[in-house]
Amino acid sequence: MSPVLEAKNVSVDYHQGKRSFRALNGVSLAIEKGETVALVGESGCGKTTLARAILGLQSFEGEIMLDGFRVDGPRPGQAKSVGVVWQDPFASLDPRWRIGDLIQEPATVTREQIDLADLMKKCGLSEQFAGRYPHQMSGGQRQRVAIARALSLEPPLVICDEPTSALDLSVQAQILNLLKDMQGDVGCSYLYISHDLGTVRYISDRIAVMYLGRIVEEGPTEDVFSRPMHPYTELLIKSALTAENIGSLPESEESESRIPPMEGCAFRPRCPYAQTDCGQSFPTLFGDAQRAACFHPLVH
Amino acid sequence: MKGLFWVGVGYLILLLFFAVFGPTIRHDYLNPVASPLQPPSGANWFGTDEQGRDVFARVAYGARMSLIVGFSVQLIALVFGTLVGIIGVFGKRWARDPLMRLTDGMFAFPDILLAILIIGVWSTGLVPVIVALSITAWPGVARLVKTQVATLKDREFVVSARALGAPTTYVVFKHVLPHLTSILLAVAMVDLAGTILAESALSFLGIGVTPPTPSWGSMINDARAYINTQPLLLVWPCAILSLTIFALNFVGDGLRAATDPRNR
- A105: nearest Cα among A134, A64, A69, A126: A134
On average, the pLDDT of chain B sits at: 88
Q: How confident is the model at residue A166 (pLDDT cuts 50, 70, 90)?
A: confident
pLDDT at A251 over 60: no
DSSP B75-120: HHHHHHHHHHHHHHHHS-HHHHHHHHHHHHHHTTS-HHHHHHHHHH
pLDDT: which is higher, B15 or A283? B15
Separation CA A227–CA A234 (nearest Å): 8
> Which pLDDT value is given to residue A7?
92
- The alpha carbon of residue A144 is apart from the nearest alpha carbon of chain B, in Å, by 15
Separation CA A191–CA A55 (nearest Å): 12
- The alpha carbon of residue A243 is apart from the nearest alpha carbon of chain B, in Å, by 34
| Predicted complex ipTM | 0.86
Q: Do A109 and B160 touch (CB under 8 A)?
A: no
3-state SS class at B201: helix
Range in A39-53, A57-71, A269-283 the model is least confident about: A269-283
- The alpha carbon of residue A166 is apart from the nearest alpha carbon of chain B, in Å, by 14
User: Which of chain A's residues have a Cβ under 8 Å away from the Cβ of B161?
Assistant: 94, 105
> Which pLDDT value is given to residue A119?
92
Q: What is the mean pLDDT of the segment spanning B196-219?
A: 88
Contacts of B98 (CB under 8 A, 6+ apart): none
Separation CA B37–CA A96 (nearest Å): 58
pLDDT at B103 over 80: yes
Q: What is the mean pLDDT of the segment spanning A108-125?
A: 90
Q: Give the closest of A55, A92, A106 to B157, CB-based.
A: A92
Nearest CA in chain B to A56: B163
Summarised one tens digit per residue, pLDDT across range B125-167 is 889 999 999 999 999 999 999 999 999 998 999 999 999 999 9
CB atoms within 10 A of CB B25: 12
In 3-state terms chain B splits into helix, strand, coil percentages (rounded to 5) of 75, 0, 25
Helix B126-153 to helix B93-106 angle (10° resolution) is: 120
The answer to whether B189 and B255 have CB atoms below 8 angstroms apart is: yes
Exposure string for B127-137, b = 16+ CB within 10 A, e = fewer = ebbbbbbbbbb
User: Which of chain A's residues have a Cβ under 8 Å away from the Cβ of B162?
Assistant: 57, 74
- The alpha carbon of residue B137 is apart from the nearest alpha carbon of chain A, in Å, by 29
Q: Give the closest of A77, A92, A94 to B165, CB-based.
A: A77
User: Which of chain A's residues have a Cβ under 8 Å away from the Cβ of B167?
Assistant: 76
Quote the distance between the C-alpha of residue A124 and its chain's center: 24
Q: Give the closest of A92, A94, A109 to B165, CB-based.
A: A109
Separation CA A258–CA A247 (nearest Å): 25
Q: Do B167 and A76 touch (CB under 8 A)?
A: yes
Q: What is the mean pLDDT of the segment spanning A80-105?
A: 92
- The alpha carbon of residue A145 is apart from the nearest alpha carbon of chain B, in Å, by 13
pLDDT at B204 over 50: yes
Helix A139-151 to helix A169-186 angle (10° resolution) is: 20
DSSP A28-90: EEEE-TT-EEEEE-STTSSHHHHHHHHTTSS--EEEEEETTEE-SSPPTTGGGTEEEE-S-HH
- CB–CB contacts below 8 A, A to B: 53
Test the A interface: residue of B90, B92, B152, B160 with most A CBs within 10 Å: B160
Quote the distance between the C-alpha of residue B73 and its chain's center: 6
From chain A residues 7-36, the ones with a CB under 8 A of any chain B CB are none
In 3-state terms chain A splits into helix, strand, coil percentages (rounded to 5) of 35, 25, 40
Residues of chain A above pLDDT 90, percent: 48
- pTM for the whole thing? 0.82
Q: How confident is the model at residue A248 (pLDDT cuts 50, 70, 90)?
A: low
Q: Do A78 and B170 touch (CB under 8 A)?
A: no
Summarised one tens digit per residue, pLDDT across range A258-296 is 666 667 888 888 888 888 888 888 888 888 888 888 888
Q: How confident is the model at residue B260 (pLDDT cuts 50, 70, 90)?
A: low
CB atoms within 10 A of CB B94: 8
CB atoms within 10 A of CB B200: 27
> Which pLDDT value is given to residue A255?
45
Contacts of B123 (CB under 8 A, 6+ apart): none
pLDDT at B243 over 90: yes
Q: Exposed (0-12), middle (13-18) or buried (19+): which is A284, by Cβ within 10 Å?
A: exposed
